[in-house]
Amino acid sequence: MQLGDVLESVSLDVATSCVEVSSVEIDSRACRPGSLFFAMPGAHGHGAAFVDGAVHNGAVAIVSDTPISALVPVVVVSTSELRTLMTSASSVVVGRPEQHLELVGVTGTNGKTSVTSLVSSLAQALGWNGASIGTLTNERTTPAPPELFRTLGELVENFSAERSRSLVAMEVSSHALDQHRVQGLHFAVSAFTNLSHDHLDYHHSMEEYFNAKAQLFTPERASRAVIWCDDSYGLRLADMTGLPVSRVHRSDATDVSESLQGTIFFWRGHLVNTPLIGDYNVDNALMAMEIVRSLGADESQIAHAMSEVRGVPGRFELVSGSGVVIIVDYAHTPAGLARLLSDVRRVLGTGRVITVFGCGGDRDRAKRPVMGEVASSLSDITIVTSDNPRSESPDAIIDSIIEGVTPGATVLRMSERRGAIAEAIRLAEPGDAVVIAGKGHETTQIIGDVVTPFDDREVAREFLK
Report whether CATH 3.40.1390.10 matches the domain 3-81.
yes
Query: Cα(384)–Cα(355) distance, rounded to whole angstroms?
Result: 8
Q: For the structural domain made of 97-308, what CATH number should be given?
A: 3.40.1190.10
Q: What is the pLDDT along the chain (465 residues), one digit of tens a residue?
A: 999 999 999 999 999 999 999 999 999 999 999 999 999 998 788 999 999 999 999 999 999 999 999 999 999 999 989 999 999 999 999 999 999 999 999 999 999 999 999 999 999 999 999 999 999 988 888 999 999 999 999 999 999 999 999 999 999 998 889 888 898 899 999 999 999 877 777 777 999 999 999 999 999 999 999 999 999 999 999 999 999 999 999 999 999 999 988 999 999 999 999 999 989 999 999 999 999 999 999 999 999 999 999 889 999 999 976 678 999 999 999 999 999 999 999 988 889 999 999 999 999 999 999 999 999 999 999 999 999 999 999 999 999 999 999 999 999 999 999 999 999 999 999 999 999 999 999 999 999 999 999 999 999 999 988
pLDDT of 140 reads 82
* Contact indicator for 438, 457 with CB cutoff of 8 Å: no
All structural domains of the chain with their residue ranges: 3-81, 97-308, 317-464
pTM of the model: 0.88
Domain 317-464: which CATH number of 3.40.220.10, 3.30.450.20, 3.90.190.20, 3.20.170.30: 3.90.190.20
DSSP code per residue over 376-423: HHH-SEEEE--S--BTS-HHHHHHHHHTTSPTT--EEE-SSHHHHHHH
Other CB atoms within a 10 A radius of the CB of residue 273 amount to: 13
Does this chain's domain 3-81 share its CATH topology with 317-464? no
DSSP code per residue over 227-263: EETTSHHHHHHHHH-SS-EEEE-GGGEEEEEEETTEE
Residue-wise pLDDT for 165-188, tens only, equals 999 999 999 888 988 889 889 999
